[in-house]
């Protein structure tokens, strides 16, 4: 097993357990690379990658760009704000125009679920989904699992609770797929209005009491409340949300065991977690960010090696 089973990374749903294993083993090597005095390798010097962001992003975009540059790929960036998309160009036209400039790989974030899958069927390039609406965000789930593996040794058998706005979260769905594939148990916790109706069909536990959920888990992945995606009111007030589903130091200290706290960012400090929790020893939030670069390097490297010359 030395090759990915897929030519695109569209979602965790399309990956096998062996694929994830291969990505993690490759990421281990890249993690060593990015801690060297010179953090760059020349592997992808003949590959050009386009980062197409049709939706805002800071962390993911920087992380992908850094990963690409550390592999010596040529990088072009595109944000829909300053583009011809506003003039009415279709997605396929936009991408084909970019590809005619000899681009080998496309990293795309798009507000519509399934945009990556659609694109992979219509254009001739390797596609990496960097988030499609509330559907999947595969590289985030991979780096989350990688960080759990690094902190706790293995993902298998661990209990992970995903807390917060599961309804609007692509991170939640990709994490559920990734964790289950590796043999972890998953629970979701949040206000009933923010838990999708049939989520138990995915084989996850549902809990509305945060204290019970935290007492059950080894790892808590705290999601951000995505106000920008909320067209109606899902809970009475932010203050009430924080009282019921926010994690603070007192709550953490009152648990029977020491759990690990994760957050995909950006954090709303004082809403889903307090500052003293985010900056505590139990939090691996900044490790997640560092691992993000190594994991994305691994994904890009493994996909690029399948592009024929």
Partner 1 sequence: MSQKVLLNEKEVNIILHRLACQLIEKHNDFSNTVLIGLQPRGVFLADRLAKILSEDYNVKNIKLGHLDITFYRDDFRRGEKTLEANTTKINFLVEDKNIVFIDDVLYTGRSIRAALTAIQSFGRPNEIELLTLIDRRFSRHLPIQPDYRGRQVDVINNEKVKVNWKEHDNEDSVYLIEK
3-state secondary structure 231-300: CCCCCCCHHHHHHHHCECHHHHHCCCCCCEEECCCCCCECCCECHHHHCCCCECHHHHHHHHHHHHHHHH
- Provide the sign of the torsion angle of the four alpha carbons 244, 246, 250, 254, taken in this order: positive
How many other CB atoms are found less than 10 A from the CB of residue 90?
9
Q: Which residue among 6, 13, 14, 41 contacts partner 1 (CB under 8 A)?
A: 41
Residue 168 CB, shortest distance to partner 1, in Å, is 36
Q: Which residue among 13, 43, 112, 123 contacts partner 1 (CB under 8 A)?
A: 43
Q: Which is nearer to partner 1, 38 or 101 (CB)?
A: 38
Size of the site for partner 1 (CB under 8 A): 26
According to DSSP, the residues that pair with 222 across neighbouring strands are: 163
Write the DSSP symbol of residue 144: H
Q: Does 40 interact with partner 1 (rule: CB under 8 A)? A: yes
Q: Does 142 interact with partner 1 (rule: CB under 8 A)? A: no
Q: Does 38 interact with partner 1 (rule: CB under 8 A)? A: yes
Q: Does 66 interact with partner 1 (rule: CB under 8 A)? A: no
- Which of 216, 142, 218 has its CA nearest to residue 181? 142
Q: Which residue among 42, 88, 153, 236 contacts partner 1 (CB under 8 A)?
A: 42
Q: Which is nearer to partner 1, 70 or 170 (CB)?
A: 70
Q: Which residue among 12, 20, 26, 165 contacts partner 1 (CB under 8 A)?
A: 26
Q: Which is nearer to partner 1, 17 or 121 (CB)?
A: 17
Q: What is the dihedral of CA 263, 157, 175, 154, to 10 degrees?
A: 70
By CB under 8 A, name the binding residues for partner 1: 2-4, 26, 29, 32-33, 36-44, 46, 71, 301-302, 304-309
């Amino acid at each position: 097993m030395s090759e990915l089973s897929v030519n695109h990374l569209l979602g965790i749903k399309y990956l096998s357990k062996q694929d994830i294993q291969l990505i993690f083993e490759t990421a281990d090597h890249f993690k060593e690379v990015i801690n060297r005095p010179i953090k760059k390798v020349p592997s992808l010097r003949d590959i050009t990658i386009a980062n197409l962001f049709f939706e805002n992003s800071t962390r993911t975009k920087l992380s992908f760009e850094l990963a690409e540059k550390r592999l010596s790929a040529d990088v072009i960036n595109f944000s829909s704000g300053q583009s011809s998309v506003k003039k009415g160009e279709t997605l396929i036209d936009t991408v084909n125009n970019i590809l005619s400039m000899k681009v080998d790989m496309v990293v795309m974030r798009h507000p519509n679920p399934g945009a990556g899958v659609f694109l992979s069927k219509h254009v001739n390039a390797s596609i990496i989904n960097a988030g499609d609406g509330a559907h999947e965000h595969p590289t985030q789930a991979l780096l989350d699992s990688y960080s759990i593996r690094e902190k706790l040794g293995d993902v298998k058998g661990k209990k992970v609770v995903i807390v917060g706005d599961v309804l609007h979260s692509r991170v939640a769905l990709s994490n559920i797929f990734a964790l289950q594939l590796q043999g972890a148990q998953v629970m979701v916790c949040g206000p009933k209005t923010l838990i999708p109706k049939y989520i138990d069909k995915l084989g996850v536990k549902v809990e509305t009491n945060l204290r019970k959920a935290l007492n059950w888990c080894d790892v808590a992945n705290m999601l951000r409340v995505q106000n920008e995606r909320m067209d109606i009111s899902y809970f009475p007030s932010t203050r009430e949300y924080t009282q019921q589903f926010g994690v603070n130091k007192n709550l953490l200290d009152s648990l029977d065991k020491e759990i690990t706290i994760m957050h995909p960012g950006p954090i709303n400090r004082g809403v889903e977690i307090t500052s003293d929790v985010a900056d505590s020893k139990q939090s691996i939030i900044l490790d997640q960010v560092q691992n993000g670069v190594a994991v994305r390097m691994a994904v890009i490297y493994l996909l690029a090696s399948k592009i024929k010359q």
